[in-house]
Amino acid sequence: MQPTNNHQMMGYDRSSTMFSPDGRLLQVEYAKKTVKQSPTSMGFVCKDGVLLLADKRILDKLMISESIEKVVPIDDHMGASISGFSMDGRVLVERAQLLAQQYRLTYDGPMDILTLVKEVANQKQAFTQYGGARPFGVSILFAGVDDKGPQLYVTDVTGIYFSYRAVAIGEAETQLKEILEKDYKDTITIEQAVKIGVKAMQTVFGSEFDMDRIDGAYITSDEKKFKKLEKDYLRKLIK
């Protein structure tokens, strides 16, 4: 019998606060698997700003694609994209939006990206440590432009966070990361990053790829304003 099955039979996966004999938190590991099975999100730091791209994965032909929002604003200068349980992501994103608004009202200025990322990561970590609640089954990309320039962070389900120049999370992250490692350069523009990201999704998803599945937004270093990518613009770039 496999060790994981032994752990399940002995109840080590019934609580996020219970360590297995080999030092694992099984519910946290299950939450990570949820993210790896969820629609992809990608982020890029560019010389002129930041870019977020996400796959909506429309499962119902009658569903209106515009009703699915995978890339959302946090504040004027910052946005986020999720992979994992949408309901968990919504709660954390709304928390982040509230924190950004409170900071702006208190200090009369925009919140720096890292401070916000730490607050969200702390909330995620708390749900791996306290009983009575399961871990958040979502990883979130935060991208924005502050006094330090363009910033891109990933917050894991465990509550840890990392800064990236380019990254992919979700179902196809391994294949997409391989493409990013090959094609990404520090000198790319937002427009070039859009082409790299969409073509990478085309390569990975093959016949399943559809432009209506793409959600995206960018923030330029000059304007520091969150702007959604228009479908016509995307189609024009990929031709």
Whether 181 and 168 have beta carbons less than 8 Å apart is answered as no
Q: What angle do CA 227, 179, 194 make, to 5 degrees?
A: 20
**Distance between CA atoms of residues 137 and 154, nearest Å:** 14
Q: At what angle do helices 86-107 and 113-126 cross, to 10 degrees?
A: 130
Domain region containing 53: 37-235
CB 196 within 8 A of CB 184: yes
Residue 186 placed within a domain: yes
Report how far residue 210's alpha carbon sits from residue 202's, in angstroms, rounded to the nearest whole number. Answer: 8
233, 162, 192: which is closest to 47 by C-alpha? 192
Domain count, the chain: 1
Contact 201, 209 (CB under 8 A): yes
CATH of the domain at 62: 3.60.20.10
pLDDT tens digit string along 213-230? 899 999 999 999 999 998
Length of the chain, please? Answer: 239
Q: Is residue 105 part of a domain?
A: yes
Average pLDDT for residues 69-75, to the nearest whole number? 94
Q: Report if residue 218 sits inside a domain.
A: yes
Asked whether residue 148 is assigned to any structural domain, the reply reads yes
User: Do 48 and 189 touch, CB atoms closer than 8 A?
Assistant: yes
Give the model confidence (pLDDT) of 37-51 as tens digits. 999 999 999 999 999
DSSP track, 13-82: TS-TTPPPTTS--HHHHHHHHHHHTSPPEEEEEETTEEEEEEE-----TTS-GGG--SEEEEETTEEEEE
* 71 lies in some domain: yes
DSSP 206: G
What pLDDT is attached to residue 19? 78
In a domain, 213, yes or no: yes
Tokens of 209: 């790829």
pLDDT digits (tens, 9 = 90+) for 106-152: 999 999 999 999 999 999 999 888 777 889 999 999 999 999 999 99
142 close to 179: Cβ distance less than 8 angstroms: no
- For residue 12, the model assigns a pLDDT of 66
pLDDT at 172 over 80: yes
% residues pLDDT > 70 (the chain): 93
Inside any domain, residue 183: yes
Which percentage of the chain shows pLDDT scores above 90?
66
**Assigned domain for 10 exists:** no
